[in-house]
Structure 1
Amino acid sequence: MKTSQNIVRESLKELSEYFKSTDFSKAILLGIALTIPIIVGIKLDMLEIGITITIGAMLASPSDVSGGIRHKITGILLATLLSMIISFIGSYLHLSLWLLFPALGILMFSISYLAIYGFRASLISFSGLFALVLSFSNISNDLQPYERMLLIGVGGLWYASLSLLRHYIFPKAPTEYYLSITIKLTADYLRTRGHLVKEKNDRAELLKKLLHLQTELTTTHETLREILISSRKGSGKSDYEGKRMLIFAQLIDMLELAMTNPVNYSKTDELFKKNPKQLDDFQALLFAMSDRLMTISDYLSKPKRLPKSTAIESYLECVKKDVFSSEVVYDEDSLMLRNLYKYQKEQVKKIEKIEWLLSNPDRRQIPFIKHVYAKRFLTKENYDFEVLIENFNLKSPIFKHSLRIATITMIGYGVGIIFKIQNPYWILLTLIVIMRPTFGLTKTRSIERTVGTLIGGVLAVAIVLITQNTIVYGVLAITSLIVAFSMIQRNYRASATFITLSVVFIYALLQPDTFTVIQFRVIDTAIGAGLATLGNLLLWPAWEIESMQKTLVKSLHANRIYLEEIISYYNKKGEVSDKYKVARKKAFLEMSDLSSAFQRMTQEPKSKQKNLDKVYEIAMLNHTFLSSLASLSTYILNNPTTPATDNFNKVSNRIVENLKFAEAILSLEKHSEINRELVEPEDIFEVTYGKSINLSEVDGSEKNKELVSILEEEHLIREQLKWLLEMSKKIPKVLMETQF
């Protein structure tokens, strides 16, 4: 049970992390970007010009996401350019309803379709949609269309300059923040692994949590990778960036190490039942490593204050005594324990390396990663025109989403006009914010947006009843806006609450009838949320099961390439190739995408959750397969190994063939077209490796140390191959039973 003191401490810690986050600093920046033009406009009696510049800054801000500064500024400038063009066109749409509706639909589709180019393009696309919606408002109507367009451009440049200024004043802030988050997520991953060791724990729930953590980690890795590699490219060789890059490399290796697991938990459960102290010591070691990483994360920006700790060394020594006890009998259990110990020892070395890098060592001792090598790991988007052509069909989720949002916005604006809604563009604003390519996310956002708006409306009514002070309204409007933007990624419901408060207080400054504003705000949000949900449900719906085959193929293919690189390294030895590390990264990313796809599927209507149990089984098989690959590769990379045997190559090649078969099942429309026997004519594993390892010649003498080392290798390779082979047989069978 958590004490009230612990709850308060954790709450204060979360609040402290919130204030340190890049979301909060960006929100502060946006607050400055929005308020200064308005204040200057009031002082110079040019309020309308100030408001339009503020709109330009707001339209540029969505593209200000973490990543390389060059990509960030390019995104902001492209968002500004698109917003200028769309604002200019939108200024003429009100001239005729016959022109307005088809033009609205075409523009909405075209702008939304730009999201086909990836995440940053989707943010630029949102700026264009936002600009189109704001062109329907009565803001800055006294300005000529070309004047409004140019002032929006000024606002975008104003925001870009502030973003650049923030980067040069706090160049290390994004790196420190995302590196700290990565360390904390890795610590949480290790702690969850520690809980998984105990048989009494709910392993199904813990495995789900593990999948979620892995998804978060791979996403954060991608962001941090771009920040580190791009910043080094921009600023030349930097000791600071070089050390952070090496720390990041240790964390990537730690994730692979943390994924390593026993072949199956039933064996470890049986072993630890006989020796409960061994279980307690292994678990305590994992928890100690997790705690140490949490401490390192807290002191990342001030490493000299990092407190010393010997907890990890103490627990590692306990585990060592358990494993290498004088009474130990050489059997398969003892070999499994030895290999588990080796994994944990490697993990401890990674933590020690991180602490050493933070201790400001002599740069001549640091093996810096070359930029030419590092940039190979950046994920590149394909911006060719052919991408637009290839996806211009109903098989593309983005194409369907663009059609859907175009149709629903026309309907939404029509509803606003027919029922004489005070601000019908609020319906459009709700639609572009809520609607997403998938039903699950749209439904969740609709609920959170509606609930948040209602809470914001109630709070606004209470504040308006208590005070009618315009200064209070102004302060609350700015504060609410900053909090709202800082919470968009963290808590969308809270963000919707503060956006409502901000909008109400801004209108309260402009017109006296605040309660009418609140009323229409709630009505417009409810209409927009309802239309968004219905649109995703009825118009060209993109159910996750429709794209699940493609997602599974990518994950299986990435796992197969990763396995092939492991086989290649085990046969050739020597330096670890770039191809191996890229394959590992790809396998982790594709597994993360598969996990996310499954989560989205669970949010869809029950009638559309086709073969959910089977899909979950396949996802878990993929995850377990990847964990086993991590176990195999980690051992091979971190231990001196004997030459790969013919048995290893025969079994591993059979596993590769089984994975190719699974990919073929997913790629072909009819399973009957695949002519291959699922049941092997012989048990290849038993033919090659036999049923067990011969341990009769082993004793505890000094002369048998080398033999024991060879047997440890044979045991791990044998057990992991057997497990991989079983899973590679099971995956096609489950796929054959699944209807997509």
Structure 2
Amino acid sequence: MVLGIFKGNIAINFRELLQFFKSADFSKAIMVGVAVTVPILLGIYFDQLEIGLAICFGAFWSSPSDASGSYRHKKIGILFSAALVVIVSFIGGYLDLPIYILIPVLGLLTFSIAYISVFGFRASLISFSGLLALVLSFAHELQELEVYQYALLVGLGGLWYLLLAVVWHGINPTGEIEETFQETYLLTSNFLHIRGQLIEPGLDRQKLLSELHKLQEQLMEKHEKLRETLILYRRSSGRSIYHSKKLLVLAQLVEMLEIAIAKPVNYSNMAVVLEKHPQFVERFQKLMFKVSEQLEEIGYAGKNKKKLPKNGELQQALKDIEIEISVLKSKPNNENLSAYLMLQNLYEYQEQQVELLKKIKWLLDDPKEEELEFIDEKYARKFIAPQDYDPKMLVSNFSFESLIFKHALRLAVTVMIGYGIGTIFDFQNPYWILLTIIIILRPSYGLTKTRSKDRIIGTLIGGAIAFIIVSLVQNTYLFAILGIGSLIVAFSMLQRNYKTAATFITLSVIFIYGIIRPDILTVIQFRILDTVIGAGLSFLATLVLWPAWGFLSMNNNLKNCLIANKNFLREIAAYYSLNKKDHTTLRLTRKKAFHETSNLSGAFQQMVQEPKSKQINVNEVYELVTLSHAFLSSLASLSSYIQNHCTTEASEGFKSAVAHIEGNLERAIGILAHVYTKDNFSLKSQEQSFEDNRLKFNTIVWDFENALKVGDERNLQEAHLIIGQLRWLFSLSGKMLRFAQKIENDIVVE
């Protein structure tokens, strides 16, 4: 048995190693390695090392814009990066100024370049390229080239990197898409597995739900990336059968996430039913785990259609549950009726999951084009959030209310201080302090703290390894091989494990310096010292220079989440009420609700990484985050049910019940937006208002329930789910209102 586990672990590790070598991160690292070494080797060969270095720098500085996403956006990003580094290199060539003038100029340039990030993610990568060029302009003194020549050669280096990126895309045009889909399959598989665990009594439900929230956030990010890549490709290059099929696969994965989040009733009611009928726990888990397992198999199958799993086991698992439910239905008992309706609804959700999984496998099995119903491009583009590049954003963000403005200012001041320290105390390479600062200092405290720690640990480990190697070997060629190899590993690990990346960055820098300078041990000492100073300054800056604590923006995140959920509820009610169904608006509001709920989870995770003194109302915020996820889960249940079943006409009772839920949400939104008076915070008036609303709501729902229960079994099933969800939504919205008022009461008291 031990041997079997050992062999299994070896197989898993080997598979993961192969996946790493196939990854976009590794291929990009190889490309960066080629981009920086070829110009240097050619420069040495033709005795034009300074030209080779300029081209090498340009390629290296332009590479950050080669991030995952739309191929067109990548090319534009690399071009803009190349243009920016030309401008910065030209300006940097004339920064031979007195220290009292140089430091303010350095701060102004740093702020201006960092402030470009207001235009979004791709702009932040271009900004980072500019900051690298600015900092490293202090590291290289021109010998033979003029400043303008050097700047133009740097731009040529950017074009050289672009050429490599275009060539690699031509060789492997779908590699990044396939990798992102694999990650999405595996994340969805993990999500479904945890969902299956949740129906088992006695497990730590809060811990599992917390894991689900994190996975949901990651899945939303993957879905958004795939949408951008697939839809924008169709827009710029015309329809591709490959991309159109992949868009259909993505649509199934998005639906799977909604159904996975959905549940027929709240967990406490389900736990009671499953406790009385424990045989269903095993049956449902078997099915849910099998769906999860098959998604994992699909993820690792890649393009090999022979490795796609079969449908037989899924169909058998569904049949087993159906038989058990039929047995339960055959026993005449009021309690059994309620349990039957709940389990039947849960069964139908899982049946939908199986159908979606079967369709994914069918799409991956290369069906004929005429068998496919492709997604309309105009419809698909509605799900892409356009990036605003209006120059007015530079003006609108120029205030301390903007996180980017505060970050750019914080970065500029920290860079000025770092350069001042490095110059005053005559450090060997003061630009290393600046380089550490621009890499580590992030807009959020938590990420800066983590990066500072990982950077210092990685640098110490890298310095120790380099010291051992240098003590044993003195070979220039070996240093060159180790330097290039370390650089490739460092770049491939940047997004996966920053501590490991920092270790290999240190190794590459030390070995490259070991070729140029004989005093490599001194280089190691200064590398460690500069890194510690840069990391320390970055960490202190997040604490004292216009800190962006999570609690300052938490109300806004909570408010946006409640607004998105309210709009989703409103669209569900409209969809339920109309004869002509509009899927587009419903799905757009669903996407927004999922997105804002994930944003809220991310904001809360950042908040809990901050100092305890800055975690204001953290317990209340946690409850609101948890309630928001539960509310979205309930909405997903309603949305999935009404889209996949023929429902009765929405009555006035349904509309009135929804209006009461919306009323609770609107009051909570108003409170979080600080639209309140002192009278709102009378506890007595709060509780009386809650009780009045609860009584009115119950009266409406009883009437609605009695109206729905007249009819066949399908009406009973609909009544059970719709009424159960309305009661649950009203309860959740009431709790949200209470916690929102508690947060504001605390603020008023303070």
| 1:684 aligned residue (696, 707, 712) | 696
Please state how far the C-alpha of 1:668 moved relative to its aligned partner. 1.7
Counterpart of 1:701? none
Counterpart of 1:703? none
In the alignment, does 2:729 pair up with 1:729? no
Please state how far the C-alpha of 1:143 moved relative to its aligned partner. 2.4
Counterpart of 2:188? 186
Identity %: 46
Counterpart of 2:374? 368
Q: Deviations over 1:47-89 (max 9, x none)?
A: 1111110100011111111111111111111111111111111
Please state how far the C-alpha of 1:467 moved relative to its aligned partner. 1.5
Q: Is the 8 A contact 1:651 1:684 kept in 2?
A: no
Q: Is the 8 A contact 1:665 1:671 kept in 2?
A: no
Counterpart of 1:712? 717
Structure 1 stretches lacking a partner, 5+ long: 699-705
Please state how far the C-alpha of 1:7 moved relative to its aligned partner. 2.1
Counterpart of 1:273? 275
In the alignment, does 2:262 pair up with 1:260? yes
Q: Is the 8 A contact 1:133 1:429 kept in 2?
A: yes
Counterpart of 2:572? 566
Secondary structure (helix, strand or coil) at the match of 2:202 reads coil
In the alignment, does 2:621 pair up with 1:621? no
Please state how far the C-alpha of 1:577 moved relative to its aligned partner. 3.0
- Structure 2 vs 1, CA of residues 42 and 671 (structure 1 numbering), >3 Å: closer, same or farther? farther
CA distance in 2, matches of 1:260, 1:529: 44
State which drifts further: 666-675 or 345-354.
Answer: 666-675
Q: Is the 8 A contact 2:564 2:596 kept in 1?
A: yes
| 1:284 aligned residue (283, 286, 290) | 286
Q: Is the 8 A contact 2:654 2:704 kept in 1?
A: no
How large is the RMSD of aligned CA atoms in angstroms? Answer: 1.9
Counterpart of 1:245? 247
Please state how far the C-alpha of 1:102 moved relative to its aligned partner. 0.9
Q: Is the 8 A contact 1:452 1:493 kept in 2?
A: yes
State which drifts further: 679-688 or 128-137.
Answer: 679-688
Please state how far the C-alpha of 1:307 moved relative to its aligned partner. 4.3
Counterpart of 1:509? 515
Please state how far the C-alpha of 1:327 moved relative to its aligned partner. 3.2
State which drifts further: 566-575 or 619-628.
Answer: 566-575
| 1:387 aligned residue (388, 393, 400) | 393
Counterpart of 1:353? 359
Return the letter of the residue paired with 1:215.
E
Please state how far the C-alpha of 1:233 moved relative to its aligned partner. 2.2
Please state how far the C-alpha of 1:300 moved relative to its aligned partner. 3.0
- Matches for 1:458-497 after TM superposition, within 5 Å: 458-497=464-503
Structure 2 stretches lacking a partner, 5+ long: none
In the alignment, does 2:107 pair up with 1:121? no
Please state how far the C-alpha of 1:479 moved relative to its aligned partner. 1.0
Secondary structure (helix, strand or coil) at the match of 1:679 reads helix
CA distance in 2, matches of 1:673, 1:420: 63
CA distance in 2, matches of 1:496, 1:414: 24
Q: Is the 8 A contact 1:328 1:334 kept in 2?
A: no
Number of aligned residues: 733
- Structure 2 vs 1, CA of residues 292 and 695 (structure 1 numbering), >3 Å: closer, same or farther? farther
Q: Deviations over 1:472-503 (max 9, x none)?
A: 11111111111111111110000000000000
CA distance in 1, matches of 2:143, 2:98: 17
CA distance in 2, matches of 1:652, 1:694: 17
Secondary structure (helix, strand or coil) at the match of 2:96 reads helix
TM-score normalised per structure 2: 0.95
Q: Is the 8 A contact 1:52 1:140 kept in 2?
A: no
State which drifts further: 299-308 or 118-127.
Answer: 299-308
| 2:135 aligned residue (133, 136, 150) | 133
State which drifts further: 8-17 or 458-467.
Answer: 8-17
- Structure 2 vs 1, CA of residues 139 and 455 (structure 1 numbering), >3 Å: closer, same or farther? farther
| 1:576 aligned residue (557, 572, 582) | 582
Counterpart of 1:312? 314
| 1:427 aligned residue (396, 412, 433) | 433
Return the letter of the residue paired with 1:688.
I
| 1:642 aligned residue (641, 648, 652) | 648
Secondary structure (helix, strand or coil) at the match of 1:200 reads coil
Return the letter of the residue paired with 2:692.
P
Please state how far the C-alpha of 1:287 moved relative to its aligned partner. 0.3
| 1:327 aligned residue (311, 326, 330) | 330
CA distance in 2, matches of 1:220, 1:697: 42
Return the letter of the residue paired with 2:513.
Y
Please state how far the C-alpha of 1:226 moved relative to its aligned partner. 0.7
State which drifts further: 676-685 or 530-539.
Answer: 676-685
Please state how far the C-alpha of 1:10 moved relative to its aligned partner. 2.0
In the alignment, does 2:559 pair up with 1:556? no
Please state how far the C-alpha of 1:98 moved relative to its aligned partner. 2.6
Q: Deviations over 1:400-441 (max 9, x none)?
A: 111111111111111101111100000000000000111111
Secondary structure (helix, strand or coil) at the match of 1:3 reads helix
Return the letter of the residue paired with 2:733.
S
Return the letter of the residue paired with 2:727.
K
